[in-house]
Amino acid sequence: MSRIFAYARVSTVEQHPENQLGEIRAAGFQLQPRRIVSETVSGSVAASERPGFARLIDRLEEGDILVVTKLDRLGRDAMDVRKTIDQLDHLGIKVHCLALGGVDLTSPAGRMTMGVINAVAEFERNLLIERTQAGLIRAKAEGKMLGRPPRLTEDQKHAVIRKLQDGASISRLARDYGVSRLTISRARDKFKDHGSIEMTQPAEEKSATAGEGADADPA
């Protein structure tokens, strides 16, 4: 006889998994306490990264039945749910979801249902991408600056150049303006490339600017 397991997940400690277990019992599934797994974890966490669910997978055997109230108990999104169901199906475990009428998601009817759900999820993702791209195109057409704003204004960049010409060090200016040394170096190099200034880098700054990382601020 098939063993019946129940998995209940809540996102916060204020929520109670007993509500989900009550729904499963009301649907006619006989639950034994030792075959109930519940945990408190965010729905944004993949099923394989949930400690309680991972322990449950280790306990399940071929022929067992796993019951959940909703699809999001099996993964963080449609793709994760599909991955989880495929894994359970490979192990020979039936998966029943009450929100979908209690259908076994590893059966042909269940897989057809999952196919529809995946198609809707894919449509929503593509629609979101299209809207995002349209918004970016519109913003560019309106002359809006995309991405993070520059750390230094044009006036500040000119002030930096003047101070560098007066002998100020890159490190000192970086501290004064609250930016990275690479930001100061970029401001200097931008003016040099445009032929606006001719500058000589102080000797003590040559080694400092050579090893600056890519995590610096945008100019």
Of 186, 188, 166, 168, nearest in space to 176 by CA: 168
Predicted confidence band of residue 202 (pLDDT cuts 50, 70, 90): very low
pLDDT-derived band of residue 67, with 50, 70 and 90 as boundaries? very high
Question: Which tens digits make up the pLDDT trace of 78-110?
Answer: 888 888 999 999 999 999 999 988 889 999 998
Active site residue 107: no
pLDDT tens for 3-20 read 999 999 999 988 999 999
Tell me if 37 sits within 8 A of 8, measured CB to CB. yes
pLDDT of residue 201: 47
What pTM was computed for the model?
0.56
The residue ranges of every structural domain in the chain are 4-118, 154-210
Pairing relationship of beta strands 65-68 and 94-97 according to DSSP bridges = parallel
Catalytically annotated residue among 11, 42, 48, 196: 11
The domain over range 154-210 is classified in CATH as 2.40.128 = no
Alpha helices in the chain (DSSP H): 18-26, 51-59, 78-90, 108-141, 154-165, 170-177, 181-193, 203-210
56: confidence class by pLDDT, cuts 50, 70, 90: very high
Write the pLDDT tens digit of every residue in 125-166.
Answer: 788 888 888 888 888 888 776 667 777 888 888 898 889 888
189-to-160, 195, 200 alpha-carbon distances in Å: 12, 10, 11
CATH architecture of 4-118: 3-Layer(aba) Sandwich (3.40)
Res 19: pLDDT: 93
How high is the pLDDT of residue 30?
Answer: 93
